[in-house]
Amino acid sequence: MSKQDNFDQSNWLAVCHAAIIRALMEKGWAVCPGYLEAARYSSLQDDLYRCDREGKFTPAGIGRQDDNTLLPSIRNDRTLWLSKTNPAQAAFLLLMEKLRCDLNRDLFLGLFEYEAHYALYDPGGFYKKHLDSLRGEKNRIVSTVLYLNTEWTEDQGGQLVIYDPQSGQRQAEILPAGGTLVVFLSEDIPHEVIPASRERCSIAGWFRCNASTAERIDPPR
Ligand code: OGA
Ligand code: MN
């Protein structure tokens, strides 16, 4: 990568992060198409499918640690937690570290760490309307979803539906197109994944605050 490419890329990130922060302040959610260019989200997509062929994914549950229960009537995707030891995954985690610092600088959110997983929905897969965090429960403060799907069209379904927390009305239907990043407040914004006619892949992640106390170390997930 040349010096100019490097500059363009960090400039683009700064522009995206500023727009995300503004939208979070105004309405609690943000959509950033083209956050990652094709070459970068394709290498994540390749990595995701490689990990899936290696049988590393497991059916997704609801809740954390001990209360992680499988509820296929609510969601039926498969997931794999990202790790810094994998180069493609580490590159993405580094970008989210930059976003974490920018969010803390401008919104004083005290975001402490980030956890993220690949998610793979088979055709017809869904995740019913939900919040990512019940107040005080999982200390997830800000959610992110990055889509890794090539050439997604509207008739293929699979939209992320964002609901207004007050009125319950649909506010947006976002296509899971490769490179699009969605960011929203985990405790406030109800959302839903509607079924698609094809396989759908993404990285869902959460910035968390630290809720450890003297009696209990905050579990990582
Ligand atoms: C989630 C989620 C949205 C999406 O994993 O909690 O809401 O569009 N994902 O994949
Ligand atoms: Mn969610």
- What's the CA-to-centroid distance between 204 and ligand 1, angstroms? 6
pLDDT over 70 at 214, yes or no: no
Which amino acids bring their CB within 6 angstroms of ligand 1? 119, 127, 132, 145, 160, 176, 191, 193, 202, 204
The closest-lying atom of ligand 1 relative to the alpha carbon of residue 160 is 8
- What's the CA-to-centroid distance between 104 and ligand 2, angstroms? 22
42-81 residue pLDDT tens: 999 999 999 999 999 999 876 655 456 667 778 889 999 9
pLDDT over 70 at 219, yes or no: no
Pairwise CA distance, residues 14 & 172, whole Å: 24
According to CATH, the topology of domain 3-208 is Jelly Rolls (2.60.120)
Percent over 90 (pLDDT), the chain: 77
- What's the CA-to-centroid distance between 104 and ligand 1, angstroms? 23
135-185 residue pLDDT tens: 666 689 999 999 999 999 999 999 999 999 999 999 999 999 999 999 999
Query: How does DSSP assign 16-54, residue by residue?
Result: HHHHHHHHHHHHSEEEETTSS-HHHHHHHHHHHHHHHHT
Mutation choice for ligand 1 from 156, 160, 206, 208, CB with most ligand atoms inside 8 A = 160
Neighbour count for residue 25 (Cβ, 10 Å): 11
Q: What is the pLDDT of residue 137?
A: 65
